[in-house]
Amino acid sequence: MQHFQAATAYGSGSLGGKGRGLVCLNEWDLPRAATLPCHILTTDFFDRYLERRGSLGDEDETVAASVLEQLGDVPIGVRSSATNESGVEGRDGWAVHAGENISFMLPNNHPDFGVRLAQLKSAVRHIYGHFIANHPDDCREKMAIVINPIPGLLDDTLAGPFFYPFVSGVANSFFPYALKVQDPSEGYARVAFGHGYATVLDDFPVVPVATIRHPLPLALLRTGRGQQFFYALDMTRNSDLCGEELETMKKLHVRLAGFDRVKLLGVERQTVTFEELVQKDQFGFRSGLESIMEAIRARAGPHFQIEFVFNLGFRERPSGEGIFHVVQLTVLPQIGFDAIAMPDSGRHTYLAIANLQGHGIRRGVKYAVVLSPFLYEKDQHEQVRARLAAINVEMRRRREAYLMIVPGRLGSRNPDWGLFVEYKDVDRAAAIFEYGVDIAGRVEPLPEEDGTTGGIYGSHFLYMVAGGFAEDQRRMQARMYGTQGTHFFTNIMSNNVVYGYVAPGRDHIDPWFFTPSSTNDPLYVLEFPAPVAIYADSVNQRCVVVAEN
């Protein structure tokens, strides 16, 4: 057993990424943040689980029972903590793996202790099983598990009893896509009323904050009308567990929550705006988050991401400052933004765009994977998703990178916005380009008039120019899409995958991408006549794909 400040680790093995990050956070004594008590089942438990061919031993079950007795009957998180997560294990050249492994939130309120223990053990087995199923037999990575109470509040809503944090958020220390009038080192955040799944998934709009210290007016940044839904832990799901990560959670409309609580965030027409907390710094929210980020920066370095919750004392009349809990730390690799010398005009240009994320030069790309916006229909979603994952597996086996063309927003769980995939399903993509998106700056899909795009889908893009004549005015009128901070987008950004969008009628794209030799299938693989190079300059917002000499 290993003892740390507010944390106990069982066994002598690794704490995993989340576990090690929580130990660091608790020991740093962060301003405005309470420590998060946690119990960590080290990788010793995972080793024994493998040795027993998928079962927990008596000793392991005894430890689980002891942990549950110490925590009491409060809602708990049972979270994966793989050794390749979070970048805190001191490795060089690591890749970011946000959201690849499942975790569970448990009500832990059943009157029978045996039922509560059985649900905890089931969560542990499902986490192990999911990790094993998604990694090769010779994988050297292992899984630890973090068990901690969930800071939040119990709400007896019109839909039943639910538990959720008042505010959840994800915040990054560095904002590589800041406007010229902003300081990238002020970072950005993505915040939501309710449970944190709303901030790391991408299935309904939440509120973006850029930058943290001097945020732009939220009226410019709001996606759609604001946040209309929230995730909460269903306190009646306290016995069985089938293995689906979100099975104990429910997505509710904000009108089902207590209005006396929601109005403290800022509300407009039954949507949460966060105007009070972000613009007015009510309860010390914005200033508290800023002080926490600065304290972590001094210890973890300039590039990191945190997940946090923020709560008020609702038993008394809310006043004064709220309490933060930082529930996860991910150290991110630093990406260089050196000047990019664009190629001369003598080469064949397959693509040239003016809006992108990602920076650098990728050479020797032989293949293009295209999901045609002219052929793809939403009812093809599941088969296309499975085939795309299979293509990526084959590219990984051959150690090949590829360029990808997709309609709309890859990685979104909302089928009206694009195709849902996990990052591991496209991790061989050197560059991803959206085609067929609403270039007017709206995130919701709209009917198109001229048929040139094949469909209008949501976009991942952070900024779109909404009008104006002077350059400064155009910059200040930029609208921001709050997808940064999601698991998918964290992986895209941190692994420096070029992500751009093609504006039909304005940018250049070779029709070759949409002329497969013989197929009516919306998903196909093309081989370039000769390898291409991808030049991506996110500083000057220019990207070209050209045939190599």
Residue pLDDT, tens place only, 352-386: 998 888 899 999 999 999 998 888 888 899 999 99
Residue 196 has pLDDT above 80, yes or no: yes
Tell me the C-alpha distance between 520 and 136, whole Å: 34
Average pLDDT for residues 5-15, to the nearest whole number? 92
pTM of the model: 0.86
Q: Which of 383, 442, 388, 441 is nearest to 410 (CA)?
A: 388
Residue 520 has pLDDT above 70, yes or no: yes
DSSP state letter for 274? -
* Residue 386 dihedral angles phi and psi, to the nearest 5°: -65, -40
**pLDDT band at 319; cut points 50, 70, 90:** low
Residue 94 has pLDDT above 60, yes or no: no
Higher pLDDT among residues 320 and 399, named by residue: 399
Tell me the C-alpha distance between 20 and 87, whole Å: 10
Q: Which of 25-39, 235-249, 447-461 has the lowest mean pLDDT?
A: 447-461
Q: Which of 33-37, 276-280, 474-478 has the lowest mean pLDDT?
A: 474-478
User: Would you kindly state where each structural domain of the chain is located, as residue ranges?
Assistant: 1-150, 153-334, 349-547
Identify residue 354 by its one-letter amino acid code.
A
Task: Give the three-class secondary structure for 56.
Answer: coil
Average pLDDT for residues 27-33, to the nearest whole number? 92
How far from chain centre, in Å, is Cα 477?
26
- Name the CA dihedral angle for 140, 141, 142, 143, rounded to a multiple of 10 degrees: -160
For residue 462, how many C-alpha atoms fall within 13 Å in the half-sphere facing its CB? 24
Each residue's pLDDT tens digit, 439-496 = 443 444 444 455 554 455 566 654 443 333 344 444 444 444 557 778 888 888 888 8
Tokens of residue 281, six digits: 């710094």
Tell me the C-alpha distance between 520 and 388, whole Å: 16
**pLDDT band at 339; cut points 50, 70, 90:** confident
Contacts of 26 (CB under 8 A, 6+ apart): 4, 5, 6, 7, 35, 36
Residue 311 has pLDDT above 80, yes or no: yes
pLDDT at 356: 83
Identify residue 494 by its one-letter amino acid code.
S
Average pLDDT for residues 253-279, to the nearest whole number? 87
Burial class (CB in 10 A: 0-12, 13-18, 19+), 353: buried
Q: Which of 63-77, 132-146, 282-296, 528-542 has the lowest mean pLDDT?
A: 132-146
pLDDT at 462: 46
Measured CA to CA in angstroms, residue 148 lies from 21, 203, 469, 488 at distances of 14, 26, 53, 25
pLDDT at 475: 45
Question: Contact 16/83 with Cβ under 8 angstroms?
Answer: yes
Arithmetic mean of pLDDT over the chain: 85
Residue 229 has pLDDT above 70, yes or no: yes
Query: E strand or H helix at 299, and its extent?
Result: helix 285-300
**pLDDT band at 8; cut points 50, 70, 90:** very high
Average pLDDT for residues 388-408, to the nearest whole number? 94
Average pLDDT for residues 53-69, to the nearest whole number? 94
Question: Contact 150/160 with Cβ under 8 angstroms?
Answer: no
Average pLDDT for residues 109-138, to the nearest whole number? 93
pLDDT at 486: 83
Above pLDDT 90, what percent of the chain? Answer: 52
Higher pLDDT among residues 177 and 144, named by residue: 144
pLDDT at 241: 94
Listed in order, strand segments (DSSP E) in 150-292 are 153-157, 160-164, 167-172, 188-193, 207-210, 229-234, 249-253, 267-268, 271-272
Beta-carbon count within 10 A of 297 CB: 16
pLDDT at 441: 39
**Which residues on neighbouring strands pair with residue 156, listed in sequence order?**
161
Query: E strand or H helix at 487, and its extent?
Result: helix 487-494
Out of 3.40.30.10, 3.30.470.20, 3.20.20.20, 3.40.50.720, the CATH code matching 153-334 is 3.30.470.20
Q: Which of 124-138, 190-204, 458-472 has the lowest mean pLDDT?
A: 458-472
Question: Contact 532/352 with Cβ under 8 angstroms?
Answer: no
Contacts of 51 (CB under 8 A, 6+ apart): none
Average pLDDT for residues 128-132, to the nearest whole number? 94
Residue 221 has pLDDT above 70, yes or no: no
Contacts of 155 (CB under 8 A, 6+ apart): 161, 162, 163, 164, 232, 257, 258, 261
Average pLDDT for residues 502-512, to the nearest whole number? 86
First to last CA, the chain: 60
**Which residues on neighbouring strands pair with residue 352, listed in sequence order?**
508, 544
Measured CA to CA in angstroms, residue 517 lies from 428, 435, 478, 513, 545 at distances of 24, 20, 41, 11, 21
pLDDT at 95: 66
Q: Which of 387, 414, 401 is nearest to 528 (CA)?
A: 401
What's the CATH class of domain 1-150? alpha beta
Task: Give the three-class secondary structure for 93.
Answer: coil
Question: Contact 238/450 with Cβ under 8 angstroms?
Answer: no
Average pLDDT for residues 219-243, to the nearest whole number? 82
Contacts of 179 (CB under 8 A, 6+ apart): 463, 475, 476, 478
Residue 437 has pLDDT above 70, yes or no: no
Tell me the C-alpha distance between 502 and 351, whole Å: 9
Identify residue 373 by its one-letter amino acid code.
P
Using omega within 30 degrees of 0 as the cis cutoff, is the peptide bond preceding 211 cis?
yes
